[in-house]
Structure 1
């Protein structure tokens, strides 16, 4: 695997690691499969997580940036764990023409719980990342926590997870550009736009399911 760790791409005077490009390619492929609600979204994403873990620990794995984004690196580890949970949930059975999950809107209670976890998680992650010396700890904290919530929401089939991803990307793009991780910043920008497409697709599926359920419901007594 040494060739993969050392392979570089030089663009406009900047050095880019091929493993960052490949890792983000896996991430985008996982997003496309997630939009289609295919169970392979999870293992594909996990492969990308392993590669990107080595990218964001710049000082450890000798990347050109020599910048440690501990939140970005840590989220790859958590991603791997949450993705294993998502794979387990989606692998239990196919539904709706081969798709692995039926999209649904979160309940008011679920939204409140996710909001509370987001606030507490960002506060805790900020303290930890700042102590570790992470670059841009507050933005890094939100990216870490928001990404985990989005991944968990995807595993549960919650439509709102697409919106959480958009919020993560809005913070992630400027942070990664400033830190010099250009392929990842580019992917975040593309992914942010793609999330809007995914949101539309899942909303449409939910609307069709609701319409089918309404059409199949028995008419009330006395109805014409």
Structure 2
């Protein structure tokens, strides 16, 4: 209990800014999960879930009485979404034959799936923006909605093993960095910058893995 109390209350200061250790630790778990995902390791999913639980308490600033009394409902909601989808991804990867230490083989999404991802990204943002605004999310609310929708699609794409899911993360990071800085979540904003470079690297790692894997030979007769 003492450890949990420390984790919940611990903070440090950089200049006039107050940062929560659970925001830093939660993002560190998220980065570790992304590293595990790039290497196709099953442990990426439970590690990510721990980070999601910590960040959920961070982004509901007014609910948990944090030093930054700003609610980012898209950021908070996506932590819950992450946990749900991560359970699905964890299950899916454990049901795939391991190959070279990985749990799943990267594959390209079909054009139909790609179009569906774009439509879902735009449509989800348009639908959620007025909802998040009505609930009192931080402006610009469309950014929060974009991040939530993109995070859902990227996590689903990771569970499916689609190479393109890394590019969705890039789109999330581009919008997420300025939003988090403006809302005062500096640790998360800095981590998003790191994520941006990491997700580009992850895309090329999975792309190289997909190109290097020989196509199955189909015989007739």
The TM-score normalised by the length of structure 1 is 0.93
1:188 aligns with 2:209: no
Q: Give the deviation of 1:24 after TM superposition.
A: 0.3
The reply to whether residue 84 of structure 1 matches residue 59 of structure 2 is no
For residue 13 of structure 1, report the CA deviation from its aligned partner: 2.1
- Residue 70 of structure 2 is matched in structure 1 by 67
Counterparts of residues 38-53 of structure 1 (less than 5 Å): 38-53=41-56
Which residue of structure 2 lines up, in the alignment, with residue 176 of structure 1? 180
SS at match of 2:109: coil
Q: What's the CA shift string for 1:154-180, capped at 9, x where partnerless?
A: 000001100000000000000000111
Deviation at 1:217, TM superposition (A): 7.0
Correspondence for 1:154: 158
Structure 2 counterpart of 1:139, from 143, 150, 162: 143
Q: Deviations over 1:168-203 (max 9, x none)?
A: 000000000011101100110000000111011001
In 2, Cα distance between equivalents of 1:94 and 1:33: 17
Equivalent position of 2:26 in the other structure: 23
Greater gyration radius? 1
Equivalent in the alignment of 1:123:
126
- Rounded to whole Å, the distance in 2 between the matches of 1:145 and 1:104 is 22
The one of 210, 213, 216 aligned to 2:215: 213
Q: Which residue of the partner structure matches residue 165 of structure 1?
A: 169
Runs (4+) of structure 1 exceeding 6 A deviation are none
CA drift of 1:213 comes to 3.1
Structure 2: gaps spanning 5 or more residues: none
Q: CA deviation at 1:127?
A: 1.4
Alignment of 1:91-130 (within 5 A): 91-130=94-133
Distance 1:70 1:52 in 2: 12
* Aligned mates of 1:217, 1:129 — CA distance in 2: 50
1:202 is matched with 206
RMSD: 1.4
In the superposition, the TM-score normalised over structure 2's length comes to 0.94
